[in-house]
């Protein structure tokens, strides 16, 4: 099912702004290195399993999440969380920021076999950014300040921020012991509201001859050194042209096929499988494991 | 003057490895956000002005650098520093890592008027990485484990690591009150050795028709959304083809001129000026300040 909006919280801008200034002052503790994104990702744990603010990895545990030192520094956001959300099933709360970057189209959980519908990831933007988008198999959309969104990471999805401006989201991870209704994440079920209209990006058409032109041009210049640059360039296009989120993989396959460079075509096919089809548990894949020039 | 090698330290691999494992466990405190690089930059302060391990900014101060908590966790590297280098003029020691990333060609200090020859930045690689390179106006080169290099940041230069493997360097910043000889950074001046052969990358020729082809292809597809991708793709080429470090700016100017997109040509000309010609003190420049699509 695609991502959807199911509530909205009224935010007090004055109080929120004070907390966001504190968030922006947190040290930028980077995530585990991820080859499939560019730009600056910042995650800060406000509640988690270990109470350690530098621990940003989501995992299973069977006790209530604990507030970290970062969480305790944010009075308004803390109130927002504890007053609106059901702490019983809340496992993790993070602030997340993506600046001048992108995560290329991918599925999460494709390597796992357990039912994924007991995990429920919720985003609440704390800032608006006109240049930041998410996408899934249905749409390119913009989550707006205070909106409450379910983001389905089990289908093809991607994210981008074209600007160098901040885009802070609250990310809340819930885990339920069995079936549940999304309204169960709220302390007050009346907050659940399916009637809020999402902001869907109006994308331009991309003419078939423009696609052909691009594929032909890039097939002439693609090589091992710029393969990743081309991948990211292509992955970005669906955010502003009306093509499927995974179109980049189709184009890249055709570009590398026409290039006559077998190694690049092979890499593309493996990349597509890894990102949006099937990964084995623990399987690792690297875009940049070519034998490069050595001095 | 281009960068040059002027010494070599024999390293004890067993002891060094223990310290490097500790370095790799330090939290990844990111730098101030920099639009002109990609990939993962990690800097950890071992000695600095404030004794605060999270303080990674070089600045002037007139007392000896102090060891931070990170520095104190590294017995072998500490010994390496204190036994070999003149602490009197040593202002900062950092470990630096660049993974799967690049810094595009630029000059440092172009906004400053003070004599820069009293600052002396020294790199000592602690790991070899066959896929990591530096470049300047003369060469593309690889600094090897234990070698002692002066890196001239006042001329056009760039850095890349094509791989997702680590590349830890020790970066030592010295500041002298007046004229000095590079050997003065050592406790034992006999360490100074101009006879060590640097590892210069053997780059392939780039045929004029290949350049023309690339320029023509990219002029057909460049737009505001992929401008930065194209810039980085072009900037990378000089590391493996024998063209000047700043060739990317010439090519990008011709590409944007042929594209007929005035806004892109204007951005290219301002970018070149900012990166390698002249910045005013405090001047800021952003690649990504276009008016992008908004939903």
Distance of CA B105 to the CA centre of its chain: 9
For the segment B214-221, the average pLDDT, to the nearest whole number, is 91
- Which tens digit of pLDDT belongs to each residue from A160-190? 998 888 999 999 999 888 889 999 999 999 9
| Range 75-104 of B in CB contact (< 8 A) with A | 99-100
Please judge whether B225 and A232 are an interchain contact, meaning their C-beta atoms are less than 8 angstroms apart: no
- Indicate whether A190 and A226 sit together in one domain: no
pLDDT at A211: 93
- Indicate whether A152 and A216 sit together in one domain: no
Asked whether the predicted pLDDT for residue B38 surpasses 90, the reply is no
- Which tens digit of pLDDT belongs to each residue from A11-34? 999 999 999 999 988 876 656 556
Confidence of residue B266 (pLDDT cuts 50, 70, 90): very high
Return the structure tokens found at A107: 């599925």
Q: Which of B183, B200, B217 is the last residue of a domain?
A: B200
Q: Any residues with CB less than 8 A from the CB of B279 and at least 6 apart, and which?
A: B110, B111, B273, B285
- Which tens digit of pLDDT belongs to each residue from A108-167? 866 655 566 678 999 999 999 999 999 999 999 999 999 999 998 889 999 999 888 899
Asked whether the predicted pLDDT for residue B62 surpasses 90, the reply is no
Which range, of A3-12, A45-54, B69-78, B284-293, averages the lowest pLDDT? Answer: B284-293
- Which tens digit of pLDDT belongs to each residue from B65-79? 999 999 999 999 999
In-domain check, residue A27: yes
Please judge whether A33 and B100 are an interchain contact, meaning their C-beta atoms are less than 8 angstroms apart: yes
pLDDT at A119: 83
DSSP 8-state code for residue A33: P
- Indicate whether A223 and A101 sit together in one domain: no
% of chain B surpassing 90 pLDDT: 68
In-domain check, residue B289: no
| Range 163-192 of A in CB contact (< 8 A) with B | 163-164
- Indicate whether B150 and B218 sit together in one domain: no
- Which tens digit of pLDDT belongs to each residue from B134-163? 999 999 999 999 999 999 888 999 999 988
| Range 109-138 of A in CB contact (< 8 A) with B | 130-131, 133
pLDDT at A295: 44
- Indicate whether A140 and A69 sit together in one domain: yes
**Measured between CB atoms, does A288 come within 8 Å of chain B?**
yes
- Indicate whether B109 and B187 sit together in one domain: yes
Asked whether the predicted pLDDT for residue B113 surpasses 70, the reply is no
In-domain check, residue A181: yes
How much is the ipTM here?
A: 0.78
**Measured between CB atoms, does B285 come within 8 Å of chain A?**
no
**Measured between CB atoms, does B63 come within 8 Å of chain A?**
no
**Which residues of chain B are within 8 Å of residue A294 when distances are taken between CB atoms?**
130-131
In-domain check, residue B288: no
Give the domain range for residue B115: 4-200
Please judge whether B225 and A217 are an interchain contact, meaning their C-beta atoms are less than 8 angstroms apart: no
Distance CA B294, CA A203 (A): 10
Asked whether the predicted pLDDT for residue B166 surpasses 60, the reply is yes
Return the structure tokens found at B36: 């002109």
pLDDT at B286: 79
pLDDT at B136: 96
Q: Which of A200, A217, A249 is the last residue of a domain?
A: A200
- Contacts across the A-B interface (CB distance below 8 Å): 127
Of B233, B236, B285, which to mutate for an interface test with A (greatest number of A Cβ within 10 Å)?
B233
Q: What 3-state DSSP class applies to B111?
A: coil
- Indicate whether B132 and B49 sit together in one domain: yes
Q: Any residues with CB less than 8 A from the CB of A162 and at least 6 apart, and which?
A: A100, A131, A132, A239, B225, B288, B290, B292
In-domain check, residue B284: no
pLDDT at B219: 93
**Which residues of chain B are within 8 Å of residue A289 when distances are taken between CB atoms?**
163-164
**Measured between CB atoms, does A29 come within 8 Å of chain B?**
yes
| Range 182-241 of A in CB contact (< 8 A) with B | 199-203, 213-214, 217-218, 220-221, 225-226, 229-230, 232-233, 236-237, 239-240
**Which residues of chain A are within 8 Å of residue B286 when distances are taken between CB atoms?**
164
In-domain check, residue A285: no
Q: Any residues with CB less than 8 A from the CB of A284 and at least 6 apart, and which?
A: none
Q: Any residues with CB less than 8 A from the CB of A13 and at least 6 apart, and which?
A: none
Number of domains in chain A: 2
- Indicate whether A114 and A234 sit together in one domain: no
**Which residues of chain B are within 8 Å of residue A285 when distances are taken between CB atoms?**
none
- Which tens digit of pLDDT belongs to each residue from B188-203? 999 999 999 999 999 9
């Amino acid at each position: 099912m695609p991502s959807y909006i199911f509530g909205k919280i009224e935010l007090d801008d004055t109080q929120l702004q004070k907390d966001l200034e504190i968030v922006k002052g947190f040290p930028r503790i980077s995530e585990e290195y991820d080859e499939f994104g560019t730009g600056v990702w910042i995650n800060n744990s406000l509640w988690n399993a270990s109470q350690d603010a530098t621990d940003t990895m989501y995992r299973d545990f069977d006790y209530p999440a604990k507030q970290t030192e970062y969480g305790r520094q944010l009075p308004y956001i803390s109130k927002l969380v504890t007053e609106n959300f059901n702490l019983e099933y809340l496992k993790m709360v993070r602030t997340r920021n993506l600046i001048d970057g992108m995560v290329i189209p991918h599925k999460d959980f494709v390597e796992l076999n357990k039912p994924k519908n007991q995990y429920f990831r919720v985003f609440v933007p704390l800032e608006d950014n006109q240049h930041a988008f998410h996408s899934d198999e249905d749409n390119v959309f913009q989550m707006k300040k205070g909106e409450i969104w379910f983001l389905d990471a089990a289908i093809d999805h991607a994210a981008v921020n074209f600007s160098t401006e901040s885009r802070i989201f609250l990310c809340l991870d819930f885990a339920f012991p069995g079936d549940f209704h999304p309204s169960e994440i709220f302390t007050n079920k009346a907050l659940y509201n399916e009637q809020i209209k999402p902001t869907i990006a109006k994308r331009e058409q991309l003419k078939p001859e423009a696609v052909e032109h691009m594929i032909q041009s890039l097939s002439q210049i693609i090589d091992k050194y710029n393969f990743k640059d081309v991948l990211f360039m292509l992955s970005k296009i669906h955010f502003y042209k009306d093509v499927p989120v995974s179109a980049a993989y189709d184009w890249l396959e055709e570009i590398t096929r026409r290039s006559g460079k077998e190694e690049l075509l092979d890499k593309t096919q493996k990349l597509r499988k890894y990102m949006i089809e099937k990964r084995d548990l623990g399987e690792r894949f690297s875009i940049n494991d070519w034998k490069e020039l050595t001095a």
